Amino acid sequence: MSVRLPSLLLAGLCTITWAGTTFAADSITKKSGGRVSGKITGGSKTELTIKPTTGEAVNIPANDLQIVDFDDATADLKLGQTDENAGRFDAAIQRVTKSKTDTKSDNALLKSEFEFTLARIHARIALADPSKRDEAIKGLQDFQKANGDHFRYYESMALLGQVQLAKGDYDGARKAFDALAQSPWNESKLAAKIATGRILMGENKLDEAVQSFDEAVSAAGTSAGDVARKYEAMLGKARALIQQSKHAEALTVLDEVTLNASPEDTALQAEAYVLQGNALQALSRAKEAVLAYLHVDILFPREAGYHAESLYNMTKLWKAVQLPERGLEAEAKLQSNYPNSEWTKKLSTVQN
């Protein structure tokens, strides 16, 4: 097992200096590296356009957008996104909503960014809280209906499919991921292929699921997005292997993912460590298992579904390694942070 600390993306005001004067500006940070500052002037479901202070306008593909900063937004938007990244979802909703209210701008792209950010936060909550899934699905669908040609469209479709999959709505998830596959990027088509594998797992068609994941791994290219989807497909395969009780084989796959996948891909890393903990626990390697789950608690609390699952497992494993007080701490955090989670309910069932 390896520990890799993700770098912190610090929120700040974007500025450009010209002839001794500082001008506020919009800013786009790209996944592929680099940042462009200027004025965001438009976009579509496949790209966002920004006009630098000097030079020609630049079209940045929507799948290459890491951070989009609108100068018109108040600081509460960035603070809310920081809260979201730390898993403080209630605080995030309050801050983003406040920024939406306080921002004095008629910028249509900024207004829709508020709506998407809130829909994304609710989707992340819903992955850990079954009672919130219908609300999250409606929020994402409402965003898509109002913003059918928006640069967040395909990202929202991926989130919609994930929530529907968590709900067990396989028909809905298939439709969402089929729509995602219509994007022009290979990484999105790979994501749809991976989703097909997850749906097949939900239908207990494990051999077919493994085949779908292997196909996605083979089809991945060398771009950053493709490489991320490759590791995601490997996670799907590892999950299927665990369900087939092939735990040692799954651990080999998971070690490669945790070692080589980007630490900034928090959802992927969180799932990898949860699966690693599951496999180790099945092999009666309690000390190693609790360390795997601890990665999620410390490094990836924003991934609510995996965080709740890791806390649930730690309530048992800390006791197994003779640290019962740590188990009580994990139990209290699970009940406090995720009162409606399936893992909290499962804990109550076990205790009773």
How large is the C-alpha radius of gyration of the chain? 21
Query: What average pLDDT does the structure give for the chain?
Result: 91
DSSP characters for 151-203?
TTHHHHHHHHHHHHHHHT-HHHHHHHHHHHTTSS-HHHHHHHHHHHHHHHHHT
Domain total of the chain: 2
In a domain, 160, yes or no: no
204, 235, 262 - which closes a domain: 262
In a domain, 31, yes or no: yes
In a domain, 258, yes or no: yes
| Single-letter code of the amino acid located at 57 | A
Q: How far does the chain reach from its first CA to its final CA, in angstroms? A: 34
Write out the chain's pLDDT in tens, 352 residues: 544 444 433 333 333 333 333 456 999 999 888 999 999 999 999 999 999 988 999 999 999 999 999 999 999 999 999 999 888 999 999 999 999 999 999 999 999 999 999 999 999 999 989 999 999 999 999 999 999 999 999 999 999 999 999 999 999 999 999 999 999 999 999 999 999 999 999 999 999 999 999 999 999 999 888 999 999 999 999 999 999 999 999 999 999 999 999 998 999 999 999 999 999 999 999 999 999 999 999 999 999 999 999 999 999 999 999 999 999 999 999 999 999 999 999 987 766 5
71, 87, 116 - which closes a domain: 71
* Distance in angstroms (rounded) separating the CA atoms of residues 102 and 65: 25
Q: Is the dihedral of CA 340, 341, 345, 347 positive or negative?
A: negative
> In terms of residue numbers, what domain contains 36?
14-71
In a domain, 236, yes or no: yes
244 phi/psi in degrees, rounded to 5 = -90, 10
pLDDT tens figures, 238-277: 999 999 999 999 999 999 999 999 998 999 999 999 999 9
In a domain, 164, yes or no: no
**The predicted structure's pLDDT at residue 4:** 47
**The predicted structure's pLDDT at residue 225:** 87
Packing angle, helices 108-128 and 133-146, rounded to 10:
160
In a domain, 126, yes or no: no
Given a contact cutoff of 8 angstroms between Cβ atoms, the answer to whether 327 and 316 are in contact is yes
* Distance in angstroms (rounded) separating the CA atoms of residues 57 and 49: 7
In a domain, 240, yes or no: yes
Pairing of strands 65-69, 26-30: antiparallel
CATH of the domain at 51: 2.30.30
In a domain, 342, yes or no: no
